[in-house]
Structure formats: structure tokens, C-alpha cells
Amino acid sequence: MGDSFYDRLPLELVAGFFYQIHRNIDKGILSDAMHQEVKLLERTAKRRGIPLKDLYEQGSRLIELEKAILRQDAITTPHTAPSHNVQNFFAIRNLNKN
């Protein structure tokens, strides 16, 4: 089998996708496409030697951290829409590496 899109992504993004898709599954929002995405994500995790539980937990932490950063952005600059998503992503990546 060839590489999937997820095989080329940083672990943080893979974890985020994995977590968000599972949240949609938990909410009852599930499509055939999501089943395929879950399989691709699980294959990527397996190739990288990452247990699925760890991938889910890392995704959960990253999403919660992003939400906290966005809330802080809204508090400090309420007159603007959250425009620092790319900067926030890199901040999350750097925090996760430590």
C-alpha cells in the first residue's frame, strides 16, 4: 500500500484529525468517508508505532490547547476575528515538543 495524505503530515495534525473524527463519530455524525479516514489514520499511527489511545489523547490535548489560545485571543482582541490560527498551530507544535 502507498502512502496516504496523513503519512506526510506532522504527528500533531494526524492526532488532531483522529480526535476530531472520533468526536464526530461519538456525536453520531458518521459517513462512509469518515470510516475510510479512520482507517487511513489508524494505518498512519501503526506505521509510526503510535498506539491509537495515545494518538487520541494527544489530539484531545492539542484541540483543547488551541481552544484556550483562541479564547485568549478573543479576550485580548475582541474586535477582530481569530486571525492567528497558523501562529497558534506552531505554538502548539512547539509546546508539544517540550
- pLDDT beneath 70, residues of the chain: 1-2, 77-98
Quick check: 16 and 62 in contact, CB under 8 A? yes
pLDDT value for 98: 46
pLDDT value for 78: 56
pLDDT value for 61: 92
pLDDT value for 79: 55
pLDDT value for 97: 52
pTM for the complete prediction?
0.68
Domain that holds residue 93: 5-97
Burial zone of 17 (CB within 10 Å; 0-12 exposed, 13-18 middle, 19+ buried) = buried
pLDDT value for 74: 73
Number of domains making up the chain: 1
